[in-house]
Amino acid sequence: MKKIVLFLALALGMANGFADDSKQVSEKMARDAVAQWNAVLHSGNIDALMRLYANNAVVLLPNGKTAKDKQAIRRFWKQLLDSNPNHFKLDLTDVIYAKDDTVVSSVRWVNKEDGLEYSYDGVIYNVFKRQADGSWKAQAQRWN
């Protein structure tokens, strides 16, 4: 519950901005993360997708339920990707907050079909945390 409250507080914009240099670094990290997610989404590799999440990640699903472990997160993605493989991508819309080891960003979910892209009104909020090895992984995610 603590994670969800922290995530919601960050995603709703408790931070009031940050220095330009920090913002540029954060935006680059977020762009790089989105590019990595898009490459994995395009490959359809569920194992690679799961490696983008921290071990204790939490995902607030579009149906209002919460996936609190990697098995539940895997089931969500498997169902989604099985329904329309290699047809999804993410577009970075904003870096909401950044500080040392945490970046909160929002992305738009896009469905690609027959050369056309359909963007949905919903937004996905991501809380990325820097890991001990220097990589960035999704700690919390909210599908809205």
Residue 85 confidence (pLDDT): 66
Tell the burial category of 8 from Cβ atoms under 10 Å away from its Cβ (0-12, 13-18, 19+): middle
Task: Give this prediction's pTM.
Answer: 0.79
Whether pLDDT at 134 is above 60 = yes
**Exposed e or buried b for every residue in 85-122, given b needs 16+ CB within 10 A?**
eebbbbebbebbbbeeebbbbbbbbeeeeeeeeeeeee
Question: What is the tens place of the pLDDT at every residue in 78-102?
Answer: 998 887 766 788 888 999 888 889 9
**pLDDT interval class at 144 (50, 70, 90):** confident
Mean pLDDT of the chain: 82
* CA-to-CA dists, residue 4 to 59, 69, 71, 124, 139, angstroms: 9, 13, 18, 14, 10
Whether pLDDT at 25 is above 90 = no
Enumerate domains of the chain plus CATH numbers: 2-143 (3.10.450.50)
